[in-house]
Structure 1
Amino acid sequence: MCGRFLMNEEAVNATVSITGHYEEIPLDLHFGTIYPSMEALAVDEKDGRLHASVLRFGVQSESMKKRIINARAETADSKFMFRQAWRHSRCAIPANAFYEWTPSKDMITFTEPGDSVMFLAALKIEDDFVILTREADASVAPYHHRMPVILEKQQVGEWILDPHACARIVENAVPVLDAYEPPKQLSLF
Structure 2
Amino acid sequence: MCGRFTLMATWEEVVAYMGLLDVEPFPPRYNIAPTQPILIVIAGEAREPGSNLPDRRALLVRWGLIPRWAKNPKSLPLLINARSETADERGTFKAALRHRRALIPASGFYEWKTIGREKRPFFLKPRNGGMVAFAGLMETYADPNGSEIDTGAILTTAASADIAGIHDRMPVVVHPQDFARWLDCRRLEPRDVADIMRPPEPGLFDAIPVSDLVNKVTNVGPEIQERVADLPPAVADAPKKPEPKPKPPKDDGQFSLF
Is this a same-fold pair by TM over 0.5? yes
Match of 1:21 in 2: 21
Aligned with residue 125 of structure 1, among 130, 133, 139? 139
Task: Tell me, in whole angstroms, the C-alpha distance in 1 between the residues paired with 2:45 and 2:27.
Answer: 24
Contact kept in structure 2, 1:112 and 1:178, CA below 8 Å: yes
TM-aligned CA distance change 1:157 to 1:29, over 3 Å = farther
Report the more deviating stretch, 102-111 or 81-90: 102-111
Q: CA deviation at 1:30?
A: 6.5
Aligned with residue 178 of structure 1, among 166, 187, 206? 206
Which aligned pairs between 1:1-189 and structure 2 lie closer than 5 A? 1-10=1-10, 12-17=11-16, 18-22=18-22, 25-27=23-25, 31-48=29-46, 49-60=55-66, 61-64=73-76, 66-103=77-114, 104-126=118-140, 127-161=150-184, 163-164=188-189, 165-171=192-198, 173-174=200-201, 176=203, 177-182=205-210, 183-184=228-229
Using structure 1 for the length normalisation, give the TM-score: 0.86
Task: Tell me, in whole angstroms, the C-alpha distance in 2 between the residues paired with 1:81 and 1:29.
Answer: 32
TM-aligned CA distance change 1:168 to 1:28, over 3 Å = closer
Deviation string 1:80-114 (CA, Å, 9 cap, x unpaired) is: 01001100100011000100011222111111221
TM-aligned CA distance change 1:173 to 1:137, over 3 Å = closer
**How many pairs were matched up?**
182
Contact kept in structure 1, 2:9 and 2:28, CA below 8 Å: no
**Between the two proteins, what is the percent identity of the paired residues?**
31
Match of 2:235 in 1: none
Contact kept in structure 2, 1:101 and 1:107, CA below 8 Å: yes
Q: CA deviation at 1:63?
A: 2.6
Q: CA deviation at 1:130?
A: 0.5
Contact kept in structure 1, 2:160 and 2:199, CA below 8 Å: no
Task: Tell me, in whole angstroms, the C-alpha distance in 2 between the residues paired with 1:6 and 1:68.
Answer: 18
Using structure 2 for the length normalisation, give the TM-score: 0.64
- Which 5+ residue runs of structure 1 have no aligned equivalent? none
Contact kept in structure 1, 2:4 and 2:109, CA below 8 Å: yes
Report the more deviating stretch, 28-37 or 48-57: 28-37
Computed over aligned residues only, the root mean square deviation of the Cα atoms, in angstroms, reads 2.2
TM-aligned CA distance change 1:184 to 1:16, over 3 Å = same
Secondary structure of 1:92's partner? strand
Task: Tell me, in whole angstroms, the C-alpha distance in 2 between the residues paired with 1:40 and 1:158.
Answer: 22
Q: CA deviation at 1:185?
A: 8.4
Report the more deviating stretch, 157-166 or 44-53: 157-166
Task: Tell me, in whole angstroms, the C-alpha distance in 1 between the residues paired with 2:179 and 2:202.
Answer: 14
